[in-house]
Amino acid sequence: MTTIVFLPQRESAWSDYTVKVTNTLIKAKQECKRNKTRGFVIKFEDYEEPKSLAQLRAVHCLMDLAIPYLEKEHKIKYDRAKAKSFIKSEIGYVRESTPFEIAIMLNCMKIHRDHPDRAQLEEFCKRIPQPESFALATKEKMMDLITQIEAWAAEKGFEGVKIDNKDLIAMLQYYKQ
């Protein structure tokens, strides 16, 4: 299957993409003539560009920059995953616990199905916020999250937690358009 994506910000390449579409169509027609039992389908659908690699790199860069400040403030060792979970909680990028997460929490507390307070404890665990996944964020939401993380860090006095790399800033500006 061949996918060719036309994007407004890459309009200068549209003529190249048109040639690719034409060549792909010619190859598909030839293959269809050779293999008389198989045809092909052409689909046109709307496409919204997902978050960029630059955005993910920016978030990971911010997490890495925040680690020394978090370790100093909390006097415990952090890695990127712990920093992400903590910062997501701090900026409110959370969701409700899933039934699976609730079951795991109750199991860790040795609360079995026959426990008299299980229903109340399930409700309690349901309200424990869980970090939302960056994988679910749209391109626009990622830009908002980057801004929120930088603002949170500035508010905390973590002055080194900001995007300084000129290339990364340029890429992020491109995706703001």
- Strands 94-95 and 130-131 come out as antiparallel
Residue 168, pLDDT score = 65
Q: Is the pLDDT of residue 142 over 90?
A: no
Residue-range domain boundaries for the chain: 1-47, 53-93+132-176, 99-128
Least confident of 40-54, 66-80, 88-102, 139-153: 40-54
Asked whether the beta carbons of 54 and 66 are under 8 A apart, the reply is no
Q: Is the pLDDT of residue 83 over 90?
A: yes
If phi > 0 it is left, if psi is from -120 to 50 it is alpha, else beta; for residue 157 that is: left
Tell me the average pLDDT across 23-48.
80
Length of the chain: 177
Q: Is the pLDDT of residue 84 over 90?
A: yes
- Nearest Cα neighbor of 87 from 121, 113, 61, 107 is 61
Residue 174, pLDDT score = 58
Please give the distance of CA 17 from its chain centroid, rounded to a whole number.
28
Q: What angle do CA 53, 58, 60 make, to 5 degrees?
A: 95
Q: In one letter, which amino acid is 116?
A: P
Residue 53, pLDDT score = 74
Tell me the average pLDDT across 104-128.
92
Q: Is the pLDDT of residue 177 over 60?
A: no
